[in-house]
Amino acid sequence: MHPAFSVIFLTTLIGVGQGIFLALFTGQSYSAVELLPTQDSTRFYGNAAFIALGFLIGGLIASFFHLGHPERAWRAASQWRTSWLSREVIVLPIMMGLVFIYAIMHHFGWDSVLLTTDTGAQLSLTLIIATLGMFTTFALFICTGMVYACLKFLQEWHTPLTIINYTLFGTASGFILMTAFANTSAPDLMNFYGIWASIITLAVFVTRSASLIRNAQIKHKSTIQTAIGVRHSRIQQKSMGFMGGSVNTRDFFHHVSLIFMTKMKWIFMVLVFPVPLMLLWMGMETHSTALLFAAFVVQYVGLLAERWFFFAQANHPQNLYYQTV
Amino acid sequence: MTQLALVIDLNVCVGCHACVTSCKEWNTSGPAGSMCDDNPYGKDPTGTFFNRVQTYEIGEFPNTETLHFPKSCLHCEDPPCVPVCPTGASYKRKEDGIILVDYDKCIGCRYCSWACPYGVREIDEHLKVMKKCTLCVDRIYDETLPEAERKPACVLACPTSARLFGDVHDPESAISVTIREEGGYQLMPEWGTHPSNHYLPRRKTHQHIHEDELQRADNPLKKEQRGPSTPIDAPTLDDSTSW
């Protein structure tokens, strides 16, 4: 497939936003049961939630560049019964709404403790919103992943690993950014987020490696023989039926060399995993926001490369009909 | 239930592209608006087509065979492109099984073209909506046309009658009978899309003559060594009277 930059930015940006929100939910629920010290509502939760909202809005804006008729985008909410894309279109604004509510509630301190247990654990209104937001966040990860994983003949995508990777990549990048953010406004939580960010990054290293190994061994079900229905081991295309290109030759081929593909794979494998982990560790040791932020930036750039590779690697069966491209 | 479809006979297709040009002509002039066509006579021509003919070479020289392969939307019975559409712009008509795009609802997200394994959906890069074969839905029901012309433009244009049009759900329709009797097959059956369009395979006519068929071996007169009236190699009555 030809990687579209709008979709690359959409999936990576909302991933960061979702990851930040999951980090906030984790932080607040840990502090509700007094495993972590309570943080300032406005400076920490409020501001971080606004940052998450910013990433989500950025992703939404990027997605509009993919559409031929963005003015009709509202129609995309109508087919949620069958279309994962439609479900994503519904869940994303719901999540943005919940993050917005969560952000202003913390910003203005509109919160109240609804319940206190004997052990001192407190159930507050914002934690309920955060819990709803957490479920919506996972729903959004599932929708985003399923948009790709549900296309069964794109065999590189048609695996549960697609959803797992989308979830873990987004969460990892969000947690790394939150580590940097916590270093400035909630130093108590810096190590907590940093360690979780490392664990999630290591986990996604395992799952992404698994999908790379899987995809390297894929035996494609469709062949030129099934595509045109001729049983002969030697079939060559002599003419694709037109002289110039077409949408079919531009949208479904990545148009780069195999060497370039291999390079991209190693670039993202280095930029997403070892470099950010090292910067993260150094930043946590030295309490340097710059190093922690650099870890996020490097990983985000790596994620752009990862998403590019994810699209480029998918081999669409329609390409069997265009072998002279 | 009706499922309109095409049957394409690869045995008689000569790869002349008449179906391609007549399709473009009819559909670019239709009420749904033009189909883009950039640099048609220039260096890098590109544009939207509902139907394309590709050419394959089967076998190794000198034992090769050329196959011209026209491909348009196959109007699958279980279309993967329809359920993925987020707006409902892509739909399959209940009454005749034609898959259409509502150009006023399409947001141009291209997801349906990703979901089609056959690559028959093409986005119109000017109008920014997804386009595909309509089986000339604006023609086949047009009662102002003579009945014989109520067929898709490609079918009417084909000089070798390689394209047949009809209802594949009616077991007695001409195309159902053809599919059954001439070995009609579907493309990429492995994905369970059940394409309605079928293809008829290349068929070779072989004639093998055994040596004993050249001379009648079981002639009873010959067996009994009794010639008709003259020796068997003597001129016959036919020879002498064939003036």
Instruction: Quick: pLDDT tens for B209-229.
Output: 887 777 666 666 666 666 556
B2, B97 Cβ separation under 8 angstroms = yes
B213, B96 Cβ separation under 8 angstroms = no
In this prediction, residue B101 carries a pLDDT of 96
* Interface membership of A221 toward B (CB under 8 Å): yes
d(CA A307, CA A6): 11
Minimum-distance CB partner of B56 among A72, A235, A319: A235
Angle between helices A125-149 and A5-32 (to 10 degrees): 150
Determine whether the interchain pair B201/A229 forms a contact, defined as Cβ–Cβ distance below 8 Å: yes
Chain A CB contacts of B102 under 8 Å are: none
In this prediction, residue B239 carries a pLDDT of 63
Averaged pLDDT, A296-312: 97
CA-CA-CA-CA torsion for A150, A154, A158, A162, nearest 10 degrees? -90
> Does the pLDDT value for residue B42 go beyond 60?
yes
Task: Give tens-digit pLDDT for B131-180.
Answer: 999 999 999 999 999 999 999 999 999 999 999 999 999 999 999 999 99
Determine whether the interchain pair B109/A67 forms a contact, defined as Cβ–Cβ distance below 8 Å: yes
Q: Parallel, antiparallel, or unpaired for β B163-167 and B63-72?
A: unpaired
Task: Give tens-digit pLDDT for B180-194.
Answer: 999 999 999 999 999
d(CA B26, CA B133): 11
Q: Report DSSP letters for chain B, one per residue.
A: ---EEEEEETTT-----HHHHHHHHHHHTSTT----EESTTSSS-EE--SEEEEEEEEEETTEEEEEEEEEE----SS-STTTT-SSS-EEE-TTT--EEE-TTT-----HHHHT-TT---EEETTTTEEE---TTHHHHT-TTS-GGG-S-HHHHH-TT--EEEEESSSTTSHHHHHHHHTT-B-S-GGG----S-EEEPP--------GGGTTTTT-HHHHTT--SSS-TTS--HHHHH--
Percentage, residues of chain B above pLDDT 70: 88
Distance of CA A189 to the CA centre of its chain: 23
More confident residue, B51 or A39: B51
Q: Report DSSP letters for B100-139, one per residue.
A: EE-TTT-----HHHHT-TT---EEETTTTEEE---TTHHH
Find, among A62, A86, A57, the residue nearest to A9 by Cα.
Answer: A62
**Chain B interface disruption, residue of A321, A323, A325, most B CBs within 10 A:** A321
Record: fold of A5-219+246-321: Formate dehydrogenase/DMSO reductase fold (1.20.1630)
CA-CA-CA-CA torsion for A241, A242, A246, A250, nearest 10 degrees? 80
The amino acid sitting at B97 is: G
In this prediction, residue B228 carries a pLDDT of 56
> Does the pLDDT value for residue A122 go beyond 90?
no
Chain B CB contacts of A243 under 8 Å are: 45
Averaged pLDDT, A228-235: 95
Terminal Cα distance for chain A, rounded: 14
Q: Which residues contact A129 (CB under 8 A, 6 or more apart)?
A: A98, A101, A102, A105
Interface A-B: count of C-beta contacts within 8 A? 176
- Where do we find the tokens 């030295």? A286
In this prediction, residue A67 carries a pLDDT of 96
In this prediction, residue B231 carries a pLDDT of 63
A106, A45 Cβ separation under 8 angstroms = yes
In this prediction, residue A325 carries a pLDDT of 58
Least Cα separation, residue A304 to chain B (angstroms): 21
Task: Give tens-digit pLDDT for A177-211.
Answer: 999 999 999 998 999 999 999 999 999 999 999 99
> Does the pLDDT value for residue A157 go beyond 70?
yes
Q: CA-nearest residue of chain A to B200?
A: A229
Task: Give tens-digit pLDDT for A18-75.
Answer: 999 999 999 999 999 888 888 888 889 999 999 999 999 999 999 999 999 999 999 9
Q: Parallel, antiparallel, or unpaired for β A235-239 and B129-131?
A: unpaired
| ipTM, two decimals | 0.92
In this prediction, residue B95 carries a pLDDT of 95
Chain B CB contacts of A84 under 8 Å are: 84
Determine whether the interchain pair A83/B85 forms a contact, defined as Cβ–Cβ distance below 8 Å: yes
Q: How far, CA to CA in Å, does A36 sit from each of A32, A39, A186, A209, B133?
A: 8, 9, 11, 33, 61
Q: CA-nearest residue of chain A to B15?
A: A241
Please report which confidence band the pLDDT of residue B237 belongs to, taking 50, 70 and 90 as the band edges: low
Determine whether the interchain pair B56/A78 forms a contact, defined as Cβ–Cβ distance below 8 Å: no
Return mean pLDDT, chain B.
Answer: 91
- Where do we find the tokens 């595909």? B132
